[in-house]
Structure 1
């Protein structure tokens, strides 16, 4: 059998994977030592094994790949000469199996890391969604509580309702005062007042008529609920009238009469 027939017979593949008897292994080694074509073919088969293992585990680092390649192929693509009693083919088969197992392990670790990352992202997303839901529920509860409080004010028969009509600065403006003389609490419905300009705020005054004595009972800054424009201001015990003026932010000590928007007697 010439070298070409020997190469095409498949014996060299069995040789690389350690499937020949020790006598056959020695025969191949002897022939390869005298035949450059056989040495080249054996090197090509060994390289194919390395490339196959790399395709199984594409994420193996170049450093690890080159170290394994050098262990199997060396820096010289010639046949590795071993002592006759050493089962070189068996070691080669073990090395090829190890590379394939290593590639499978690396693929498993990569897939496991990817899966853990997806699970963590899903947990973070669900946590964020849950926190948003909690916040929405809390906001809804606050709005419902404020709405219930406002309904209690409107239904309280102890409240005196004082209608405040628009004045010269804006005749179309109006407001309502809900004043409980027993508890002295005062609520202001400012729905029909226009939004104050930037840097200005509405200020509410409790008025004694004779002589005219204004007392500030608060600024319309924090609504009770949503867009209701219902405000709670300071208590008062002896009001004869109520007025609302437009003042600079922070309020004024005395009302600016030129900016009197609403006025009404008790």
Structure 2
């Protein structure tokens, strides 16, 4: 049983106001015995009702004061007054209870509405952020596609090496703006404490030049990275290096290598 939902339903206010059927009253009473939270809520409602209706209760008028005002201590007309005053008190009390229950019901519903409106507002803000991110990602993807589809782009496949024959990557080299776009989809995530490092190579003599490390490889979704390259590259390679990178490639950790087609 969802205690919070039951309390928020308003049935306890109706119970205090005496607006439930005998069967419903019995059910509420049994639940009060089983769940201290429900019993405490009923006590708090009763206390609130008493506080709200205290001013509505008729003031007690002393019998002796009435007699003094009438000036006749033997008058018997006062016998009917208590009965009439009791009926008025009962009616005022019942009306005050219903008023208090209505106020509590209204406040409870107002709180629920405010919570729902706040939830809708949060969801709307989150959706707006998602839409904006999607637009940004779409724009970035379009720019990337335009770059790698340029007619002057040089595509360099990088095949797996040695024990890492299953690995692969691809470089798209735009000499006009000294940029390469590395597609590393065929590389596994870098182990903890390691990073992928990209190298530009000249073949005769073999000279590696670091193009930097890919520190966000594991968290990037599309695995495509733009890297500056102003070198006259004849080949590209990717090695697995300690965090921070290395001055020269660790050949035992050479995962992929590819030669530029125009290289001699």
TM-score bracket for this pair, using the shorter chain length: 0.5 to 0.7
Matched, 1:262 2:256: yes
Match of 2:231? 237
- 2:211 alignment partner in structure 1: 217
Check conservation: 2:199, 2:211, Cα contact below 8 A: yes
Post-superposition offset of 1:117: 1.0
Q: 1:245 to 1:64 in 2, by over 3 A?
A: closer
**2:142 is aligned with 1:135:** no
SS at structure 2 position matched to 1:111: helix
1:99 and 2:93 aligned: yes
Contact persistence 2:52–2:100 (CA under 8 A): no
Identify if the C-alpha distance between structure 1 residues 64 and 179 changes in structure 2 by more than 3 Å, giving closer, same or farther: closer
Aligned to 1:149: 143
Give the TM-score normalised by structure 2.
0.66
Give how far 1:180 is off: 0.8
How many residues align? The count is: 209
Query: How high is the TM-score relative to the length of structure 1?
Result: 0.66
SS of equivalent residue, structure 2 residue 166: strand
Contact 1:169–1:259, Cα closer than 8 Å, also in 2:
no
Q: Which runs of 4+ in 1 moved over 6 A?
A: 65-74
Q: Within the alignment, does 1:182 sit opposite 2:173 as a pair?
A: no
TM-aligned CA deviation for residue 246 of structure 1: 0.7
Deviation at 1:106, TM superposition (A): 0.7
RMSD: 3.5
Q: 1:227 to 1:68 in 2, by over 3 A?
A: closer
Relative distance call for 1:194 and 1:70 in structure 2 (3 A) is: closer
> Quick check: which has more Rg, 1 or 2?
1
Where does 1:116-131 land on structure 2 (aligned, <5 Å)? 116-131=110-125
1:228 to 212, 222, 228: 222
Q: Residues 255, 226 of structure 1: CA spacing in aligned structure 2 closer, same or farther, 3 A cutoff?
A: closer
Asked if structure 1 preserves the Cα contact closer than 8 Å seen for 2:196 and 2:240, the reply is yes
Task: Describe the shift of the 1:123–1:66 C-alpha distance in structure 2 as closer, same or farther (beyond 3 A).
Answer: closer
SS at match of 2:216: coil
Alignment equivalent of 1:158, drawn from 130, 146, 152: 152
Gapped regions of structure 2 (runs ≥ 5): 1-15, 20-41, 71-77
Counterparts of residues 30-45 of structure 1 (less than 5 Å):
none
| 5+ long unaligned stretches in structure 1 | 1-52
* Aligned counterparts of 2:198 and 2:124: Cα–Cα separation in 1: 42
Secondary structure of 1:263's counterpart equals strand
In the other structure, the counterpart of 2:3 is none
Distance in 2 separating the partners of 1:69 and 1:135: 54
Contact 1:169/1:258 (8 A) holds in 2: no
Is the CA contact (8 Å cut-off) linking 1:185 and 1:234 kept in structure 2?
yes
